[in-house]
A and B are shown apart, each in its own frame.
Chain A
Amino acid sequence: MKVLVPVKRVIDFNVKVRVKADGSGVDLANVKMSMNPFDEIAVEEAIRLREKGKASEIIAVSVGPQQASETIRTALAMGADRGIHVKAEGEIEPLAVAKILKAICEAEQPGLVILGKQAIDDDSNQTGQMLAALLGWPQGTFAHRLELGDGKANVEREVDGGLQTVEVKLPAIITTDLRLNEPRYASLPNIMKAKKKPIDQKTPADYGVDVTPRLKVLKVSDPAKRTAGVKLKTAAELVGKLKEIGAI
């Protein structure tokens, strides 16, 4: 069974983002970029499936600018077998990504697609679900644990208030939550090996998908700032203050 793992290049999660003064977006110049953390978990899960003999080949896909090929290389260094880079500039909305992935699924016929539950830049949390709907496949989102059976998978999901398990028929879409696994670091030999692994170069037009954004971003601004208040000396003073303002 092939496993497809879409990966996205985003601002590194440790970087403090800065909103551009003209309100046109977030400053991406000279900022460290990395693979979306939830996607690393997706790559790791796919590799573990292959190690257990449940997956035969792992294909890493990225839709993004030239540098997105580095993100694919990272997935290849972790252990993915080959890559597909769909080169596209600017903001590509989840629906457009889902349409491209749908076309790739139809060509590659994977048994599973494992995606991060959301990208930490636009925080949309949509692509996996949209891909599932476009393909007419079931989904196990926010996966905490994944168990593959015969032609089906049990997915334990992180939901409000606890955990929920659903059974989905394969092929299916899985989106990862934080506790599914802890991704490995790529070893130096594997980083060297990854350089020789093939990456197909494609464009959205190859799949007949128009990636023009549908939503118009009017502006991007800083969130309302909170300022530091007062420091109190004792626990009793704190309780008194909270009572005084009616908070308790």
Chain B
Amino acid sequence: MASLVIAEHDNKSLKDATAKTVTAAAQVSAPVHVLVAGSDCGAVADAASKLAGVEKVLVADDPLYAKMVAEPMEALILSLAPNYDAILAPATTNGKNYLPRVAARLDVPQVSEVIKVASPDTFERPIYAGNAIATVQTPAGKKVITVRTTAFKAAESTGDASIEKVAAAADPGASHFVGEELSRSERPELASAKIVISGGRGLGSAENFHILEKIADQLHAALGASRAAVDAGYVPNDYQVGQTGKVVAPELYIAVGISGAIQHLAGMKDSKTIVAINKDEDAPIFQIADYGLVADLFQAIPEIEAELTRLGY
């Protein structure tokens, strides 16, 4: 049989999370088909058809799916489920929202936030905020899986899959999208940025948080924050990196004024290189940082900024 990957997108562009989920799917059950459910989402389907390892792209183009509301998504995925032995979605807020509904209706357990496919029926997933890793085996039958995308490499755009239209499923009619308030930023998205600079309570105020912006611009980095900084009101919640926020694994993670609570570490400890800047040399963040700078951030940040400027960043 085959596996079906539910694409993450905003109707205009395909998100990197999809390419990473395709990589996981290919290890579970090949060939891989991708479902693009959206509205006016032709460009997304084209992008999905180029992902290496994808045999076919299914497009359900209907206003019903514009915002991936859970109930219509459930109905659509269930209508396609008989053709697949595995259904995977990235563990984004969308995937987490609709996929357990599909698992329940198929009467199978869902394996959430998979970080490794050990064999087609055996998976590793973090539990206790990443403080332990469980290896679980699924029973015979369909597999329903969400994928922690930071743990997989993106499939390359070297493929040439066919694109096929599929009919929308009937609208269950019990819910609809009302509106959204998305943060607008010129910077890269937190979840997919190569460099992330996060600030913590050490910044002291919302105004002080701005001192990170210049360096973020110089390095084309995304800005993040600890839960302490979010709870203190320095930045909105969608900046939050951690178990209860976003899980990131960039090439470079720079933690500024962050002590390193377990909850925060759970969200960034898989980053390739970690830098910590904190005036408290006993801060737990230094125990996992590759490079530490024990310094007052209000001195260190302008110095880093000046050094980057001097080097032409």
Contact = CB atoms under 8 A, between A and B. Distances in A.
A169 B174 contact: yes
A207 B33 CA distance: 39
Interface string A11-37: 100001101000000100000000000
Q: Secondary structure of the B side of the interface? A: mixed
B96 A125 contact: yes
Contacts of A230: 290-292
B2 interface: no
Interface string A216-240: 1111111100111111101110110
Interface stretch (A44-52, A76-84, A152-160, A191-199): A152-160
Interface stretch (A53-61, A62-70, A103-111, A128-136): A128-136
Contact of A123 (B110, B127, B139, B272): B127
A160 B128 contact: no
Contact of A139 (B70, B252, B287): B70
B1 interface: no
Query: Looking at chain B, what size class is its interface with the partner chain?
Result: 35 or more
Q: Secondary structure of the A side of the interface? A: mixed
A165 B313 CA distance: 40
A123 B112 contact: yes
B288 A141 contact: no
A188 interface: no
Given A129-B70, A129-B100, A218-B137, 9 more contacts: A121-B127, A160-B246, A164-B67, A166-B178, A167-B176, A221-B135, A230-B291, A238-B293, A245-B273
6 closest pairs, A vs B, by CB?
A235-B303, A129-B100, A133-B101, A130-B104, A229-B290, A138-B175
27 contacts: A93-B109, A94-B109, A121-B127, A123-B243, A125-B112, A127-B100, A130-B100, A133-B100, A133-B101, A133-B102, A139-B101, A142-B93, A159-B93, A160-B92, A161-B182, A163-B181, A164-B179, A164-B180, A167-B176, A217-B135, A221-B135, A226-B288, A228-B286, A229-B292, A231-B294, A238-B304, A242-B252
Interface of B: 67, 69-71, 74, 92-94, 96-105, 107-113, 122, 126-139, 172, 174-183, 189, 191, 195, 219, 236-238, 243-244, 246, 251-252, 262, 269, 272-275, 277, 281, 286-295, 299-300, 303-304, 307-308, 311, 313
